[in-house]
Chain A
């Protein structure tokens, strides 16, 4: 069974700090990795995707991928209360854009 693991949290950070969200995956052959944000009662929305080892930056968000360690992370700089949500890590698996999701990490940014 292919798995994606995330710490469920909550991860609590003060406003303006860096939030670091982590994810590990079991399928060494995985090639595509996604971070989704989900507000309570809403559907997931894509924040970033990453395919290559290293860092990928988009505004306040940085995704980091280490395929050798089977590890993906998401950094959120200058965290805002509006960033408070559940963050889902997802890994592409088996073609047709099927995704395996982690259970999500709940982030709470307090003023």
Chain B
């Protein structure tokens, strides 16, 4: 079974703090994604990576950065957390370059910024 693990499930951070969300997948997938999910807005893509050290912006990259130093690990960084970044963050992974392969989600990280 594919496993995508998000190490932090529930976090509470203060405005202005630097926040790291970590994600690890065990299926040697090339592609990894960070989405955020908000009520009424669905899942929105923040960043994705198609290879080690390669990254591309998604639809809502502002206020976020990412790091992928190893194939299995993809980190989302909030340089200076703000209250509007309170959300559920979902990491996902997949293989291949097309559009037809399944993406697998982690269990989600619930972030509250106060």
Residues of A within 8 A of B (CB): 4, 8, 30-32, 34, 42-46, 49, 51, 88, 90, 92-104
Contacts and interface: CB of A to CB of B under 8 A. Distances in A.
Interface stretch (B11-19, B62-70, B75-83, B99-107): B99-107
B107 A42 contact: yes
Contacts, number: 69
A29 to B, nearest CB: 10
A102 B37 CA distance: 11
B43 interface: yes
Q: Which 8 A-B pairs rank lowest in CB-CB distance, beginning with the nearest? A: A92-B99, A103-B42, A97-B94, A101-B43, A43-B105, A101-B42, A32-B99, A32-B100
A104 B43 CA distance: 9
A96 B42 contact: no
A102 B50 CA distance: 23
Nearest to A46: B102
B25 interface: no
A48 to B, nearest CB: 11
B100 A31 contact: yes
Contact of A88 (B42, B98, B108): B42
Count class of interface residues, chain B: 20 to 34
A87 B97 CA distance: 26
13 contacts: A32-B98, A32-B99, A44-B43, A45-B105, A49-B100, A51-B100, A95-B98, A96-B31, A97-B96, A98-B33, A98-B45, A98-B58, A100-B45
A41 to B, nearest CB: 8
B97 A96 contact: yes
A98 B48 contact: yes
B100 A92 contact: yes
Given A92-B99, A95-B97, A96-B31, A44 B40 contact: no
Given A43-B107, A98-B33, A98-B48, A103 B41 contact: yes
B111 interface: no
Contact of B40 (A46, A94, A98, A103): A103
B24 interface: no
A71 to B, nearest CB: 18
